[in-house]
């Protein structure tokens, strides 16, 4: 299939060195220099511009779930407008007045059902010659940037497809609102909006970089406890597990948050003497690193809170955490403690092997 559609890259944040800003996942020692797992960074508080003013009459406030359970364009646009207004006029602790928990539950449930049915690597093949595919990098809770992007680039439609490449939460003050807006668009237009997983869509990163704290503040119980907030946080984590790992656009553009991944070759260990039905243990061949195949990617188990850094299910961690390098070859990513470092030769081999033209990561 020829790649006739236009592909635009939208970057909301300046490129930054993830090896400096993200921690390696738990190994014997963390490589993060500025934060330990027990330290929670301060998340910027949204500006309060007039908390005493009521919402504009044109807004449906608070957000209510449609009686028929079917989202409409008007509902999603109202959600965006209400979140925009509340982010400027209400305190974070007033968020349940904006989006009741029952509405949050309904939205996340609908979106999770769609996401969990998608393959690890979604194929976006129905792009016509007049179509545009917009690939969006890390948004990290920057609600107002996302709202501007959607309005400036044009809302998702049959001829305008959005591929969001992960890292929706952490660092920014509105990770929850940002993620929920994207989930709403996914429910409304599942074939025009694709949400891939980033390395921050994990229990570890969200507990260190602010999203867990954000949720617990916004959904704090009336008695000051965290029961409701923990419920909301767990639902978000469950939704994160369903996010696909990668996409291939029009058969030629591979997109993933981290990048390439290894082949996981396994050999059965010798069966020990004893019971006939003794379980066979598989040994991972890790002495030589080899690029993995799209078939292996499709079979990886992505439903994990934190991608493993050891064992046989290493592909999700590679796809989310690996980094390119100018040095040829494939090697463990010792800076992060998870994922790989791959060189230009690996990129060329991967593209040729699977008849791709571009490998895009953020």
Q: Report the catalytic residues.
A: 200
* Cβ pair 195, 164 in contact under 8 A: yes
Beta-bridged to residue 173, according to DSSP, are none
Please choose, from the candidates 11, 274, 228, the residue with its C-alpha nearest in 3D space to the C-alpha of residue 134: 11
Calculate the dihedral angle through the C-alpha atoms of 145, 148, 153, 159, rounding to the nearest 10 degrees. Answer: 90
Beta-bridged to residue 157, according to DSSP, are 160
* Cβ pair 359, 249 in contact under 8 A: no
* Cβ pair 61, 82 in contact under 8 A: yes
Displacement of CA 155 from its chain's centroid (Å): 20
**121-124/246-249 β-pairing:** parallel
**193-195/330-332 β-pairing:** unpaired
């Amino acid at each position: 299939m020829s790649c006739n559609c236009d592909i635009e890259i939208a970057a909301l944040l300046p490129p930054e060195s993830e090896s400096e800003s993200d921690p390696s996942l738990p190994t014997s020692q963390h490589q993060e220099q500025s934060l330990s797992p027990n330290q929670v960074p301060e998340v910027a508080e949204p500006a309060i511009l007039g908390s005493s003013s009521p919402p504009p009459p044109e807004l449906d406030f608070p957000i209510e779930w449609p009686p028929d359970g079917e989202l409409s364009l008007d509902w999603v646009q109202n959600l965006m407008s209400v979140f925009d207004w509340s982010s400027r006029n209400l305190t974070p602790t007033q968020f349940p007045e904006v989006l009741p928990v029952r509405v949050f539950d309904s939205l996340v449930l609908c979106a999770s059902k769609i996401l969990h049915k998608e393959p690890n690597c979604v194929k976006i093949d129905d792009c016509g010659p007049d179509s545009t595919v917009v690939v969006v990098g890390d948004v990290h809770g920057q609600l107002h940037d996302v709202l501007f992007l959607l309005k400036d680039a044009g809302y998702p439609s049959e001829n305008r497809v959005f591929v969001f490449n992960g890292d929706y939460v952490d660092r920014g003050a509105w990770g929850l609102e940002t993620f929920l807006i994207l989930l709403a668009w996914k429910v409304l237009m599942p074939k025009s909006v694709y949400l891939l997983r980033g390395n921050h869509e994990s229990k570890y990163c969200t507990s260190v970089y602010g999203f867990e704290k954000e949720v617990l503040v916004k959904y704090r119980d009336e008695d000051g406890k965290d029961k409701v907030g923990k419920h909301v946080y767990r639902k978000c984590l469950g939704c994160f597990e369903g996010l696909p790992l990668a996409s291939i656009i029009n058969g030629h553009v591979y997109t993933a948050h981290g990048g390439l991944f290894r082949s996981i070759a396994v050999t059965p260990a010798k069966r020990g003497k004893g019971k006939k039905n003794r379980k066979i243990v598989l040994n991972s061949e890790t002495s030589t690193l080899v690029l993995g195949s799209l078939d292996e990617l499709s079979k990886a188990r992505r439903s994990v809170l934190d991608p493993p850094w050891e064992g046989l299910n290493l592909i999700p961690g590679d796809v989310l955490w690996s980094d390119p390098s100018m040095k040829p070859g494939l090697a463990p990513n010792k800076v992060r403690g998870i994922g790989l470092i791959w060189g230009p030769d690996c990129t060329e081999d991967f593209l040729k092997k699977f008849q791709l033209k571009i490998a895009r990561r953020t």
